[in-house]
Structure 1
């Protein structure tokens, strides 16, 4: 079994979701949203770093995945999102994990079956694949979708195979 964390980067709200993967079976462990605090950008990034570091220490994932940033019309907003994404990549790297990266359309296509699905469709399909869970909000649902995508695209199963070979 491999524990995977999916992270949906955001400067105000950074979603996270942890699943366990055993072959083709996935099960929910936890999910939530890190809400940044502070008046300036540096304080907000530090807040996100501290919260995500505590989550990594609590759940001890063995694999991580982050959604890639897409460039939108607002260049300044894209740059700020990129800085939050840097935190989302840095914290798992500090824990010794390699980080899988997935385009938003890849995540949606994997989980929903359509690359241009809306947040409501993603939330619905995450609930279908992880029945009975309480999801902390759309950002947490997106993070769980990222973790599920990582599990389906070999990020988690490749790690599981490597661990099995190493311990044999």
Structure 2
């Protein structure tokens, strides 16, 4: 499964493409940060982001797109910028008939580190480890985009490996959490 992860933002929009095999082994395909100037008109910034995302979709042909879910912050201006950049990414994805998944930062951290409250540095370290890179891509927007793509593939597309030896500790923790959630869900459905 090939996934394009997008960490949306107006000034810096992280984008990363990963390939994930059925045993959940992830490989880096492409990573970058789309940058726009704070002094540019909003419509020009969104056009730049939209055009570059469209180009990446056409060049890399992902099976799915993963976007960070906008969450409430004190800074309304930042939230609006993230939402606007997300909208442009959604438009480009929908125009190509791609499925889009939204993931919160906590969900992504839990998927890769086993702990939803992990620090950004811990997440970046796990991205590098999962992708077998010497170091995490910089800036953090690039690493976050890759984390989103990996999280999405692990949750939605890649099947569980039968040989636990091929999984990283974070992947093993994710499988354990999935099994636990499935058992809990089954008990809740059976309860009156």
TM-score (norm 2): 0.76
- The answer for unaligned runs of 5 or more in structure 1 is 159-168
May I ask how many residue pairs the two structures share in their alignment? 156
Residue of structure 2 in register with 1:14 after alignment: 13
Please tell me whether Structure 1 or Structure 2 has the larger radius of gyration of its CA atoms: 2
| CA displacement, residues 32-72 of structure 1 (integer Å, 9 cap, x when unaligned) | 11112561111100110011111111111111111101110
Separation (CA, whole Å) in 1 of partners of 2:36 and 2:147: 22
Question: Structure 1 132/77 Cα, relative in aligned 2: closer, same or farther at 3 Å?
Answer: closer
Distance 1:133 1:51 in 2: 27
SS of the residue corresponding to residue 79 of structure 1 reads helix
Distance verdict in 2 for CA 1:121–1:44, change over 3 Å:
same
The aligned counterpart of 2:182 is none
Which of 133, 145, 148 pairs up with 1:146?
148
User: Aligned partners of 1:60, 1:100: CA distance in 2, in Å?
Assistant: 16
Under a length normalisation based on structure 1, what TM-score does the superposition of the two structures give? 0.86
Is the CA contact 2:63–2:99 (under 8 Å) kept in the aligned structure 1?
A: no
Aligned to 2:6, the other structure's residue is in SS state strand
State the 4+ residue runs in structure 1 displaced beyond 3 angstroms: none
Aligned residue for 1:58, secondary structure, equals helix
For structure 2, the 5+ residue unaligned runs are 160-192
In structure 2, how many angstroms separate the alpha carbons of the residues matched to 1:77 and 1:144? Answer: 21
Match in the other structure for 1:33? 33
- Aligned alpha-carbon RMSD (Å): 1.6
